[in-house]
Chain A
Amino acid sequence: MTRPRVLAAMSGGVDSSVAAAVLVERGFDVIGVTMKLFCHGDDVPDRPCCSLESINDARRVCEQLGIPHYVLNMERTFGRDVVDDFVAEYARGRTPIPCVRCNTFTKFRDLVAKADALDAPWIATGHYARAEAGVMRRGRDSHKDQSYFLWGIDRAVVARLLLPVGDLTKAETRARARALGLDVVADKIESQDICFVPDGDHAAVVSRRLGAGAPALAPGPFVTTGGDVVGEHGGFVRYTVGQRRGLPGGSSRPLYVLAIRPDDRAVVIGPREALFGRSVVAREVNWLARVPPRAGSPVEVQVRHRAPAVPATIARLEMTGEANGGRGGEIELALDTPVAAIAPGQSVVFYTRDEVLGGGVIERQ
C-alpha cells in the first residue's frame, strides 16, 4: 500500500519509456506524465500539433504498463523560461542550449512542483546520467552521456532523481524495451532536433518571434581578425563559434567562425588555430557538489556536449547566490591546455572524474 510514488516524465521515446517500465518492475507507484511544452498550431502545416504522436505513444506505453498517464500543459512557463531565452540569446549572437534551461526550470523545477502536489517524493526521467545518493554522475554509456545538460538543476532535487537508463547503454535500453514488449517505442528513431524547432531551422523560430527584419536576421559583414571585410552573410543568427559551413571560400586554409559581434552584425572568421582559448568565463554558476570547490582548486571542464573534459584550475570565483542554494555568480577557469570553439551561450560543466560538480553558461573566452 505504501509503495513509493514517482512522477515519470515520459516523452514517448524509448529512454523514458524504459525508465518508467524499470521503475514499475522495481515496485514503485509510477505516474507517467508528458509535458506539452509548445503548440505549433497552425504555424507548421502537416505537423501534428504539439507532438501529438509522441504524447499518444507515451499514453500507450503507460496503458501497457498499467499506470496512469497525464498530459501536463507547461506551454506558458516553457515559453517564458526556455523559448524566450533561446530567441534572446540568438539575438545577442550567442548559441544557447535550450535543453539545459528546460532541465533547470521546466523539468526539474516546475515538474518537481507537480510531483510535490501529487505526493511523489521521486522524479524519474530517461536521461543517460546517474543520480546516486544525491550525487550526479555521468551515464554509464559514454556515447550517450547527458550529464552535460543537467548541471543547472537544484542540488536538493538530485537526491530525488531516479534515472534508470543511466546505468544502461542505448543498445541495452532498446533490448530492454523489446524484452518488455514496448513495441511502440523500442525501435523509434532518436530525435536530434531541438523539440520546439521544426526541421532544425532555428532561424525560422527567431524570425517568427522577432520578425524577419530583426538585426540577427539582417545581412552583415564577414570580417577577419585583422578587421578586413571579406564578404557578406545573411544574418548572424545562422552562425556559431567553431562553425565552418557557410563561410566565404577562396582561402588557402579552412576558415572558422571565431566570434559574433551583434553590435555591427559582424561574423569574425579566421584559421583553426585562432579558435583555441585558454580561459573560460561563465555566469549563472550552479553547484551540485555538496562542497563546491574554491578558487585555486583543480577541476575538469567540458565546454560542449561530446567534447572531452580537460583539466583546468578555478582562477576566480564570485558567488552571489549562496543563499539561493548555490546558484548565481561568475567563474573564471584557466585551462591547462587550449580548447577549441568556446562558444558564448553554451555550457561549461565541471567534473571530478564522472561526478558533476556544477556548471555555468559561457560568457566569453
Chain B
Amino acid sequence: MPPAVYLDHAATTPVRAEVVAAMTPFFGPRFGNPSSLHRWGREARASLDEARERVAACLGARTDEICFTSCGTEGDNFAILGAWRTARQHGRRAVVTSGIEHKAILGAVHQAAAEGAEERWLAVDASGTVEPASFRDLVRDDVAVCSVMWVNNEIGTVQDIPVLADEAHGQGVTFHTDAVQAFGKIAIDASRQPFDLLTVSGHKIGAPKGIGALYIRRGTPLEPLLHGGSQDAGRRPGTENVAFVVGFACAAEMAVAERDAESARLRRLRDALEAALVARIPDVVVHGRRGQRAPHILNVSVPGTDSESMLMALDLAGVAASSGSACQSGSVSPSHVLAAIGVSPDVASAAVRMSLGVLTTDEHVGRVAELFPALAEKARRLTGSRA
C-alpha cells in the first residue's frame, strides 16, 4: 500500500510539534487558573495575556479585541446572535448573509430569525462571489448585522471583505466575516481592514480542536452568549483553556509567518492537481473556478459519478478527501453551497473536495492525479452499464 494521502486540511489539520511543545507545560506544572490570585494563577494569567497579545499581533488587532472561544462555531454564533440581540434594541431588525456560509452562520441566522429577525440573502454568482448590487440593495440602515465568509470552506471562493465591510459601515451596519479558512492564507489586518467581527479557529492551522477566537473591534456592542464569571471582562465567562490558548498563539504565529511561502506552495500544488484532472477528465467541473480562489481548496465533480462512491474508493486507496458536507450520521448530504451557486443536483452530488495543507507534497499530488481519474472512469463505467 503506498503511503496515505491526506487531502482534507479544510476539515482539520494535524497539531504541529511546536504547538504540542508549547502546550506541554500547561498539562504539567503550569496548571493554574488564571483567575487565581496566587503564584499558580499569576503564571497562568501571564501566559494567557501573552498569548492574547500574540494572537492580536497576528490579526493586526489590539489585545482587548481578541476573545478566545471554543471553536469557529462559537465565534460565528457569538458574532451573529450577540450583534443581533444588541442591535434589535435600536430598531435594526434584519440580518444579512449569503447562502454559501458555513452551517454555523446559517444556524445562528435561523436562530436570530426565530427571535424575530428578518433574514436577507445576498445573491451569489456561479463562482460563489457575492453580487455587489445585491449587497447594496440588502445592507441598509435597518440591518443589525451582516456576515460574509472570507474564504468559502467548500469551494474556496474569496470575497472582497474590506470593500464589503466598508460598504456596510456606510449604513452603520455591524460587519462580520468567518475567516476560519482564510486565516493563514489571506492577509488579515484589523488595523487596515474595516471588519467589526472576525472568526478564526485553531484546528485549521495546526492547533488542537477546541480553541478559536473572535476578533471584536473596540466599540462593537455584543451581547454575551454565556453568563457567569468575569473572565474576558464578562464577554466570555468560563475558565480559560490556557494550554490551548497558548497552542493557538503558537500556531497562529507560524501560520502568519509562513503565509506567503506556504500559500504559494499550495497554490502551485493545487493548480498542478487541477490541471492534471482537467487534462485527464475533459468534462470535469471545477467549482468556483471563475472566481478568486484560496490556494488550498479544489472542489471537482465528474459527471456520472457520485461523491459517496468516490470518497469511499479514495479512502480504500488511502486518500482522504471530503464532500464538503456531511450529516450527523456521517453520510454524504447534498451541498447547500453548490446548490446556492446554481450547480445542478446531479453535478453537485458528484462533488469531491480536496484541500491541501501542511502534509501535502508533490508526490501526493502526483499520486492523486493518477488515481482520481482512474477511479472516476471506473465509477462512470459502472453508472453507464446500469443506465
Contact = CB atoms under 8 A, between A and B. Distances in A.
Interface stretch (B160-168, B224-232, B270-278, B329-337): B329-337
Interface of B is mostly: helix
B331 A117 contact: no
Contacts of B309: 114, 117-118
A71 interface: yes
Interface stretch (A47-55, A176-184, A186-194, A278-286): A47-55
B150 to A, nearest CB: 30
A36 B329 CA distance: 8
B379 interface: yes
Interface in B329-369: 329-333
Contacts of B261: none
B315 interface: yes
Interface residues of A, number: 19
A72 B313 CA distance: 13
Interface residues of B, number: 17
B336 to A, nearest CB: 15
B328 interface: yes
Contacts of B37: none
A73 B335 CA distance: 13
Interface string B300-336: 0000000011001101100000000001111111000
Given A113-B382, A117-B309, A118-B309, A68 B329 contact: no
A59 interface: yes
B315 A52 contact: no
A314 interface: no
Contacts of A34: 329
A73 B308 contact: yes
Given A68-B315, A68-B316, A118-B312, A73 B382 contact: no
Contacts of B316: 31, 68, 118
B312 A70 contact: yes
B90 interface: no
A39 B328 CA distance: 11
Given A36-B331, A49-B329, A116 B382 contact: yes
B103 interface: no
Contact of A118 (B313, B327, B328, B331): B313
Contacts of A31: 312, 316
A55 B382 contact: no
Contacts of A113: 382, 386
A49 B312 contact: no
Nearest to A55: B329
Contacts of A36: 327, 329, 331
A114 B331 CA distance: 14
Contact of A73 (B332, B378, B386): B332
A325 to B, nearest CB: 14
Nearest to A1: B1
Contacts of B329: 34, 36, 49-50, 52, 55, 71
B328 A52 contact: yes
B386 A72 contact: no
Nearest to A7: B312
Contact of B328 (A49, A59, A70, A114): A49
A72 B382 CA distance: 17
A36 B315 CA distance: 19
Contacts of B328: 49-50, 52
Interface in A74-130: 113-114, 116-118
B315 A117 contact: no
Q: Which of B312, B329, B330, B386 has the most CB of A within 10 A?
A: B329
Nearest to B379: A117
B384 to A, nearest CB: 12
B333 A117 contact: no
Q: Which of A31, A50, A73 has the most CB of B within 10 A?
A: A73
B313 A73 contact: no
A72 B315 contact: no
A71 B315 contact: no
B331 A72 contact: yes
A34 B309 CA distance: 14
Contacts of B379: 117
Contacts of B378: 117
Nearest to B323: A73
Nearest to A116: B382
A49 B315 CA distance: 26
A132 B378 CA distance: 30
B333 A73 contact: yes
A59 B330 contact: yes
A68 B379 CA distance: 20
B313 A71 contact: no
Nearest to B316: A118
A50 B328 CA distance: 9
B366 to A, nearest CB: 23
22 contacts: A31-B312, A31-B316, A36-B327, A36-B329, A36-B331, A49-B329, A50-B328, A55-B330, A68-B315, A68-B316, A70-B308, A71-B330, A73-B308, A73-B327, A73-B332, A73-B333, A113-B382, A117-B312, A117-B313, A118-B309, A118-B312, A118-B313
Given A50-B328, A70-B312, 6 more contacts: A68-B315, A70-B315, A73-B331, A73-B332, A114-B312, A117-B313
